[in-house]
Amino acid sequence: MAKRILVIEDDKNISELLQIYLEKEGFEVSTALDGGKGISEFEKCKPDLVLLDIMLPVMDGWEVCREIRLSSSVPIIMLTAKGETLDKVTGLDMGADDYIVKPFEVKELIARIRAVLRRYGEEEGPAPKVLNYDKLEINMDAFELKVDGKRVDTPPKEMELLYHLASSPNKVYTRNQLLDEVWGFDYFGDSRTVDVHIQRLREKLEGVSDKWCLKTVWGVGYKFELNEA
């Protein structure tokens, strides 16, 4: 069954061009020319992936991303002319899975779409994706984090990062490994993206348990450390 992609892009020429190329690649495509219609179309067509511009009328891309993430973990690729690190971090913090800057090569975009869908498909296996440690539950099926029995609101990418680290306790990951394995890119990722997410996770988890912690391995990266004592 063909994957459906929702393109939310206010430039009609770009939207139509993307639709042509994506349909040639075998995807089903729906489009919306503003953020409000994008939300409506998202609820209507239930896409497998969203290509989302940031500079949109009615609702900007960040608002649209935030609204989608209230009810869905569907992959989102931000598509925009903005290339500054702050914009990348903002989009990723809000739950985007990847970020591509205009102008771009269509072949690169197609490759990124397939990579994100492939990762997403791998994550949808039948086995439950729940990790439990002392006073900590990471439930990726529900995208829910519980700390000391209480649900803690956590953006999807923070959840994915924590789950990735906690799935291999005591294994050290470099920042570039985490960018590659959690975000799925390594050619424009900034290591500060990882640092920001780790800091926010620490704010949620600091002092909860003495049996585990998010630990910085200086000069290398990070790990989810279990205290064997």
pLDDT digits (tens, 9 = 90+) for 80-97: 776 555 566 666 667 788
pLDDT, average across residues 27-32: 95
Query: What integer pLDDT is reported at residue 142 of this predicted model?
Result: 80
Measured in whole angstroms, the distance separating CA 142 from the mean position of its chain's CA atoms is 15
- Across 42-192, the runs of DSSP E, i.e. the strands, are 49-53, 76-80, 98-101, 130-133, 136-139, 144-147, 150-152, 173-174
Q: Label residue 12 by pLDDT band (50, 70, 90).
A: very high
H/E element holding 118?
helix 106-123
* Confidence band of 4 (pLDDT split at 50, 70, 90): very high
* pLDDT tens-digit readout, 144-160: 899 999 999 888 889 98
C-alpha closest to that of 25 among 129, 101, 108, 131: 108
Average pLDDT value for residue range 157-172: 92
pLDDT tier for residue 163 given thresholds of 50, 70 and 90? very high
pTM reported for the whole predicted model: 0.56
For residue 93, the model assigns a pLDDT of 67
What is the average pLDDT score of the chain? 86
Does 186 have pLDDT greater than 50? Answer: no
pLDDT on residue 193? 85
- Res 187 pLDDT > 60: no
**Strands across the sheet with 4-8, in order?**
28-32, 4-8, 49-53, 76-80, 98-101
Provide mean pLDDT across the span 3-15.
94
96 vs 213 pLDDT, higher one: 213
What 8-state DSSP symbol labels residue 168? S
Structural domains of the chain in order of their starting residue, each with its CATH number: 4-123 (3.40.50.2300), 130-226 (1.10.10.10)
